[in-house]
Amino acid sequence: MARAVVDWFGFHADYEYEYSSNDAPVSRLRRRSNVNIDAIHDFPVDSEMAPAQLYSTESGRLFHSGKIAIVTVGLPARGKTHVSVALSRYLRWLGVKTRAFHLGDYRRAHMGHGNDVPHDYFFVDASPSSVKLRQTILQKCRFDLYHFLDHEMGQVAIYDAVNPTAEGRKQLSKEFLKHEIQTIFIESYVDDPKIIEQNVRSVKISSPDYQGWNPNDAVQDYIRRMGAKIPHFETMDEHELNYIKMINAGERIIVNNCRFGYLPNRIVFYLMNLHIKSRQTYFARAGASTGEDSYKADGLLCDEGESYSQRLCNALLEHRRKEREEFIKQGGSDEELKPLTVWTSTRRRTVQTAAHLQERGFKVKQRPQMSQMNPGNSEMTEEEFKAHYPADWDKHQLDPYHHRFPRGESYHDLAVRMEPIILELEREKNDLLIIAHESVLRVLYGYLMACSTSDIPSLEFPRNKIVEILPESYNNRAKRIPIPHTDTNGAYVP
């Protein structure tokens, strides 16, 4: 089950797969500190604090919220996997030990490559052999889930499956309760055919099965096949169960019986900001400013910075144009690109860097929380600093993520203060270009790619490349778009 990371522009791909056992290559992907790969399915080091974690406890659990199983409910192409992955990204960011268990992974692993399950596998009245197969696969998944919660200090296990019947859900909730696990169901319910089609188009028909198909035909075929495969589905209405029903990608949310702890409401808070449509995020540095890069001065763009901002604008628009052409050539629909929104901080350089895009008619919003990390007293060259504050420098080397220079902010402070930005980032439906200081880009990239706190402070964003994050339901993918005639400092290169 290789999730090949397409490496377009000089990314290293030195990660390795590690399988839990011979027959279950269940996303046990570990990387060796390769920040170019979304680490949302990695197993983080237990002792490490998460980027926005406020405090840690010996039990590893937080908020007196106990052990929780989040169980997805919904037909295929309703964004269940997307919700599972997005939620575990957010909870981990907060320091809640979370892992997603995708039943589909276990099914595919059990069946082996190219073998589909029997046609009646999802039927309520499936044949005994199919029921047995189902049980075998389920057991394996549950075993891992319990192991995570009981023996690996896990707190939230996300169980990603269809769970189509009320009876099955009641049983599941009972079973979990026996293990002292509270269950919250999250249903993604869609009755707007447009949303389903869009979802199928973006995540389901890119498979080899549909190579060469007309996309519209492929979508219809997929929906028909799923209808035949899972003919029986009951939407959630079980009053005694704890559930969150997201209707039409979050247009309306019904929360039932979720008043039993801090985490359930916090999860609802996150889900209110999540939608299941996919869009691109681009990161770019602001241009260089006049004089030094002083925090206090809040300088304007210098001439070089100004010409960089022009090249950045052109490179991005050119890239988007080409992507669309390529998509149409490969048989994609010729609908217009998603609108592009630009966010900057309120620092003058970032606002000016977006000026060309604003002139071209793109919407630019200033976000005050995206101001760069306050360097405090550390605004001097490395040598000067070492001479003045040797003790602080040593401490900084030990934990550059949490260490804070006198009167300044740490990356951790920045991550906590940017919480509204993280949620707005999830909310945004347009494609999004973020122009900000490197410290801000490090934290936001760290969130989207699930980087560890040891990686975030050293992430690099040279000015000769725009970073693009492509959302895929299983993980995000990063790639870099070169800005022509530009060096890593943003200077013009003929």
Partner 1 sequence: MHTFPRSVYSMSNIEDSHICVVMVGLPARGKSLIAQKIVRYLKWLSVNAKSFNVGSYRRADTPHPTADFFDTGNLEGERLRRAAAEAAVNDMLRWFEHEGGHVGILDATNSTRSRRAWIEERCKSKGYDVMFVESKCDDEDLIMNNILEVKTTSPDYVGQDPEVAARDFRDRIRNYEKVYETIDEPHLTYVKLINVSSQVIINQVSNYLQTRIIYFAMNLHITPRSIWLSRHGESEFNVLGKLGGDASLSPRGLAYAEALPGLVKDSVGDKDITLWTSTMKRTIQTAKHLTYPKKQWKALDELDAGVCDGLTYKEIEKKYPEDFRARDDDKYNYRYQGGESYRDVVIRLEPIIMEMERGSDIMVVTHQAILRCIYAYFMNVPQDQSPWMEIPLHTVIKLTPRAYGTQEERFKANIPAVSTFRAKYTSANMGGEAAIFDAERAKLPISGAQANGVITINGDVEAVPQKVGAVSVVGSLGSNGGTLVVE
Q: Please report, as ranges, the residues that interact with partner 1 according to CB under 8 A.
A: 54-57, 62-64, 251-259, 262, 265-266, 268-269, 272-273, 365-369, 404, 406, 416, 419-421, 423-424, 427
**Cα(121)–Cα(288) distance, integer angstroms:** 60
Q: Which is nearer to partner 1, 54 or 328 (CB)?
A: 54
Question: Is 144 one of the annotated active-site residues of the chain?
Answer: no
- Kindly give the interhelix angle for 438-448 and 419-427, rounded to the nearest 10 degrees: 60
Closest approach of partner 1 to the CB of residue 65, in Å? 9
Closest approach of partner 1 to the CB of residue 141, in Å? 30
Q: Are 345 and 439 in contact (CB under 8 A)?
A: no
Closest approach of partner 1 to the CB of residue 2, in Å? 37
Q: Are 448 and 475 in contact (CB under 8 A)?
A: no
Task: Kindly name the residue from 160, 392, 431, 455 that is annotated as catalytic.
Answer: 160
Closest approach of partner 1 to the CB of residue 185, in Å? 14
Q: Which is nearer to partner 1, 75 or 271 (CB)?
A: 271
Q: Which helix (H) or strand (E) holds 443?
A: helix 438-448
- Please write down the HEC assignment for all residues of 135-157: HHHHHHHHHHHHHHHHHCCCCEE
Q: Which is nearer to partner 1, 23 or 419 (CB)?
A: 419
Closest approach of partner 1 to the CB of residue 40, in Å? 22
Closest approach of partner 1 to the CB of residue 391, in Å? 10
Q: Are 385 and 393 in contact (CB under 8 A)?
A: yes
Helix ranges, 389-436 (H)? 390-398, 411-417, 419-427
Q: Which is nearer to partner 1, 17 or 269 (CB)?
A: 269
The DSSP result for 161-221, as a single string, is S----HHHHHHHHHHHHHTTEEEEEEEEE---HHHHHHHIIIIITTSGGGTT--HHHHHHH
**Cα(300)–Cα(81) distance, integer angstroms:** 44
Angle at 462 between CA 457 and CA 466, to 5 degrees: 110
**Cα(488)–Cα(168) distance, integer angstroms:** 56
List of residues 6+ apart from 352 with CB closer than 8 A: 286, 287, 300, 301, 305, 306, 309
**Cα(145)–Cα(158) distance, integer angstroms:** 8
Q: Which is nearer to partner 1, 201 or 367 (CB)?
A: 367
Q: Which is nearer to partner 1, 395 or 485 (CB)?
A: 395
Closest approach of partner 1 to the CB of residue 363, in Å? 10
Q: Which is nearer to partner 1, 34 or 430 (CB)?
A: 430
Q: Are 381 and 391 in contact (CB under 8 A)?
A: no
Q: Are 38 and 477 in contact (CB under 8 A)?
A: yes
Q: Which residues are tagged catalytic?
A: 160
